[in-house]
Amino acid sequence: MRYCVKKDTIIVIDGSDNLDELMLENAIGSGFKIEEVEILKEEEYQARINQNIDLIKKEKINELNQKCNQAIINGFYSDADGTKKLYDFELENQVNLSTKAYQLQIAKLAGQSIESVSYYAKGETCHDYTAEQFLKLAQDGETWKTTNIVKYKDVLKPKVEACTTVKEVDAITWESDVNATQQTV
């Protein structure tokens, strides 16, 4: 098997046992100029892949990290007030939830009581939550965040790092391990 590839890459235009002339015709038919392609033997192509596998893994890890961050900030569901609702979870929302939950816990330790905390679900106006409801809401948010981080750092990233071929790397997607997250937005 030989490969007609875009010059100095591993992008395959024609991977076959075709004659050089036919491979070049296929490349031209795909919109390439002859000087933009090269034909590699199997060993040459595999050597080039091996040179590029670390870069491909790094790009996949960056992609998965971005997907993780996007999943977190897309928000989470909670039924802390008795009704399942979607809550924003941009960085500012994460800080606000954590800070208010911390204030509730400090007040409780100091023997003080905070009766309610105002907060809002996505697309809704603020309404009051009891201290217990709000702490559950904050816990649900942190669970969502942690679940996604664990999916990235402990499941998908190690899978990518263990790959030995481009095909294995390509098979790994954020969606490829749906059991690692408990809810979707």
Task: Kindly give the parts of the chain with pLDDT less than 50.
Answer: 180-185
Alpha-carbon distances, residue 162 vs 57, 92, 156, 168 (angstroms): 9, 35, 10, 9
Whether residue 64 is contained in a domain is answered as no
Domain identity same for 25 and 73: no
Whether residue 171 is contained in a domain is answered as yes
Residue 182 is predicted with a pLDDT of 45
Whether residue 185 is contained in a domain is answered as no
Using alpha carbons only, give the angle 26, 28, 29 rounded to the nearest 5 degrees. 60
The answer to whether the Cα torsion of 120, 121, 122, 125 is positive or negative is negative
Domain identity same for 148 and 77: yes
Note whether 71 and 181 are within 8 A (CB). Answer: yes
**DSSP character for 2?**
E
Domain count, the chain: 2
Residues recorded for the chain: 185
Residue 120 is predicted with a pLDDT of 95
Domain identity same for 42 and 88: no
In the block, residue with structure tokens 């809810």:
183
State how far the Cα of 70 lies from the Cα of 91, in Å rounded to an integer.
11
pTM: 0.71
Note whether 97 and 107 are within 8 A (CB). Answer: no
Note whether 117 and 100 are within 8 A (CB). Answer: yes
Parent domain of 10: 2-52
Domain identity same for 102 and 160: yes
Whether residue 164 is contained in a domain is answered as yes
State how far the Cα of 96 lies from the Cα of 59, in Å rounded to an integer.
33
Residue 184 is predicted with a pLDDT of 45
Residue 119 pairs in a beta bridge with 127
Single-letter amino acid code for the residue at 154? D
Residue 49 is predicted with a pLDDT of 80
Whether residue 61 is contained in a domain is answered as no
Residue 178 is predicted with a pLDDT of 54
Domain identity same for 27 and 99: no
Note whether 49 and 10 are within 8 A (CB). Answer: yes
